[in-house]
Amino acid sequence: MPKINGKNVLHILGEKIKPGEVKTIDLSTAKLYTHTDVNVPIIIEHSRTPGPVVLITAGIHGDEINGVEIVRQLIRRKINEPEKGTIICIPVVNIYGFLNMERTYPDGRDLNRVFPGTKSGSLASRFAYQLINDVLPVADLCIDFHAGGAKRFNAPQIRINEGNSESLKYAQIFNAPFTVYSKLLSKSYREACVKKDLPCLLFEGGMSADNNKEVAKEGVDGVMRILKHLGMLKEKQKINEAAAPTIMINDTRWIRAGHSGLFHNKINIGDFVRKGQFMASITDPYGTMYRNVKAPNDGYIININYSPIVYQGDAIYHISKEL
């Protein structure tokens, strides 16, 4: 439960945030080699009226810019100013990776594989420990923004673990184009939230080192729907209703390149394809080899590899299996 006393005072990172107060708290991390301080800004909007605490994070992987842009828009457009309750935004969790446009921490570790962290472990582990112990306990709901890695573009989607009815409820309210049942990754932020009985929505959209306008819109609109449902969205904020209910995906498979060569994609992200449908071709640079890539089953395409060159065995499409 949130650490809010009878006077509606929020306690976080050793500081008190009074009703109606707006505060940015810097979560201190290790210094750079130059002895320059590195802080992760945590932006807190605490309403005078008691209500839920929503924690919104992005940039756990430093090169995933789409999520950072979504949280930036929430702040810039004042969507994070709640009618009631509290909204906590951390636009860039992995500030080191963001500075270097890299996925990992300077110690080479993936921050999303070290939760809940340890007090005296690696740099990434120490930061994870701070986040879990000093910030997460105040939250009632977590929304975490991610993007696909390398050249792999994810259709906007919410990932939840199967059997979690509360997360499913919030996923349907968020109403991204797709909702995907996805197993919890060991030592991930989402797993840490689930272990604390906190509903956590993991948004995936776009690809790393890219800023996609349509993906950002889906993320912002989804957050607004959540806040409206919770009674936290101010009346002046105009919400965009989704064109259709989210498409539920229970199972998926990766389609891998059967040959190495130039990859020529012929379909769009989010398309529904039929078994045997032509989706792409793979050629060599010399005009002597041409191979078709066909859909192995009916399904929705929720990830496309936009790399112009692929090796045999590379993942080129992520497709749903059951409809």
Query: pLDDT at position 150, please?
Result: 82
Query: pLDDT at position 242, please?
Result: 83
Per-residue pLDDT, averaged over 27-43, amounts to 87
The continuous run of DSSP H or E covering 263 comes out as strand 261-265
Query: pLDDT at position 5, please?
Result: 44
Query: pLDDT at position 55, please?
Result: 98
| Domain 252-320 in CATH 2.40.50.100 | yes
pLDDT digits (tens, 9 = 90+) for 218-231: 999 999 999 999 99
The type of residue at 159 is: R
Percent of the chain with pLDDT over 90: 89
Rounded mean pLDDT of the chain?
A: 94
Percent of the chain with pLDDT over 70: 98
- Written as one string, the DSSP assignment of 5-63 is -TT--EEETTEEE-TT-EEEEEEE-PPPTT----EEEEEEEE-SS---EEEEEE-SSTT
pLDDT band, very low/low/confident/very high, at 270 (cuts 50, 70, 90): very high
Q: Residue 42: which of 9, 19, 1, 10 has the closest Cα? A: 10
CB neighbour list of residue 32: distance below 8 Å, 6 or more residues apart: 38
What residue ranges do the domains of the chain occupy?
A: 10-247, 252-320
Class level of CATH domain 10-247: alpha beta
